[in-house]
């Protein structure tokens, strides 16, 4: 009888151990799922595509956004060596916009940040400061309208006759990430105001062809206006580029905390 009891107890203990072990594995998997372990940093343009050009000095957008992206990546690498950072480019090379989002998707990036600089249109009055763009499904029709107006020509070259289909499909896929993108955008704005000398022109809930195909929370920052003499000077210099990378790094840390506490 006592032998039987012992065996029974042993089986019971083993069962408890197995259940506990399974529970721990389950929890570890859950944590692993919400780890922000892969991020994509996109320095806009590159190679034969200079982006926009500074009015005063002729500085090219591609040469401003690359050091900002590299500095941001370095700050993240130093503090979080476990995070895999994928750069769209680390040198002055050209790649298609759509290849960047495909690459980010294939490598299972969990956050996509695209870094650019802006230029006012000829007919516009002077503009300065940074802008942040993301997609918002609630304002989807406006996003379509905005994107079609702003980018149809470029988009058509990239996606051909499937342009509208691609946009709608990608935008709907994006909808699930809108909340996180919104948070990231807002925290970038806060940190940019804190750490840079640039003014904010706000967060825009609009479609953009760079973040279009990204199946993850994604934002695009227009760091400033190269048609503005002050922005151009600030963005061209080491201090401005450092300030912006620090602002983006802090925003990244805030985002990481929120993301991993989900």
Binding site for Zn ion (CB under 5 A): 44, 51, 116
Rounded alpha-carbon distances, angstroms, from residue 138 to 49, 135, 166, 171: 33, 9, 18, 11
Q: Exposed, middle or buried, 63 (CB in 10 Å: 0-12/13-18/19+)?
A: middle
Pick 83 or 220: Cβ nearer Zn ion = 220
Shortest Cβ 54–Zn ion spacing (Å): 13
- Which tokens sit at 179? 């909340």
| Min separation Cβ 44 and Zn ion, Å | 4
- Beta-sheet pairing, 200-205 with 84-87: unpaired
State the chain's maximal CA–CA distance in angstroms: 95
Going across the sheet that includes 84-87, the strands are 84-87, 38-43, 111-118, 218-225, 130-134, 200-205
Give the nearer residue to Zn ion in terms of CB position, either 51 or 54. Answer: 51
User: Minimum distance from CB of 65 to Zn ion (Å)?
Assistant: 7
Q: Which is nearer to Zn ion, 45 or 71 (CB)?
A: 45
| 51 vs 213, beta carbon nearer Zn ion | 51
Within 10 angstroms of residue 27's Cβ, the number of other Cβ atoms is 10
CA nearest to 155, candidates 218, 224, 211? 211
What's the closest the beta carbon of residue 49 comes to Zn ion, in angstroms? 9
Which residue is nearest to Zn ion, using beta carbons?
116
CB of residue 70 to Zn ion, shortest distance in Å = 17
CB nearer to Zn ion: give 80 or 152. 152
């Amino acid at each position: 009888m006592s032998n039987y009891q012992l065996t029974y107890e042993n089986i019971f203990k083993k069962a408890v151990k197995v259940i506990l072990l399974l529970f721990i594995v389950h929890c570890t998997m859950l944590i692993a799922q919400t780890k922000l372990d892969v991020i994509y940093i996109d320095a806009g343009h590159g190679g034969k595509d200079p982006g926009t050009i500074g009015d005063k000095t002729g500085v090219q957008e591609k040469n401003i956004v690359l050091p900002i992206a590299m500095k941001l990546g370095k700050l993240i690498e130093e503090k979080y060596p476990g995070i895999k950072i994928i750069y769209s480019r680390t040198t002055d090379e050209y790649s298609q916009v759509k290849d960047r989002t495909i690459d980010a998707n294939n490598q299972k990036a969990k956050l996509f940040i695209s870094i650019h600089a802006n230029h006012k249109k000829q007919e516009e009055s002077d503009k300065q400061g940074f802008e942040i763009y993301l997609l918002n499904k609630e304002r989807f029709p406006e996003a379509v309208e905005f994107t079609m107006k702003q980018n149809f020509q470029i988009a058509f070259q990239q996606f051909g006759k499937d342009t509208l289909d691609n946009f709608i499909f990608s935008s709907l896929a994006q909808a699930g990430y809108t909340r996180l993108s919104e948070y990231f955008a807002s925290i970038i704005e806060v940190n940019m105001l804190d750490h840079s000398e640039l003014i904010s022109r706000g967060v825009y809930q609009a479609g953009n062809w760079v973040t279009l195909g990204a199946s993850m929370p994604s934002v695009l920052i227009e760091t400033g206006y190269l048609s503005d003499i002050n922005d151009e000077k600030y963005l061209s210099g080491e201090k401005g580029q450092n300030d912006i990378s620090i602002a983006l790094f802090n925003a990244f840390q805030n985002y990481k905390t929120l993301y991993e506490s989900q």
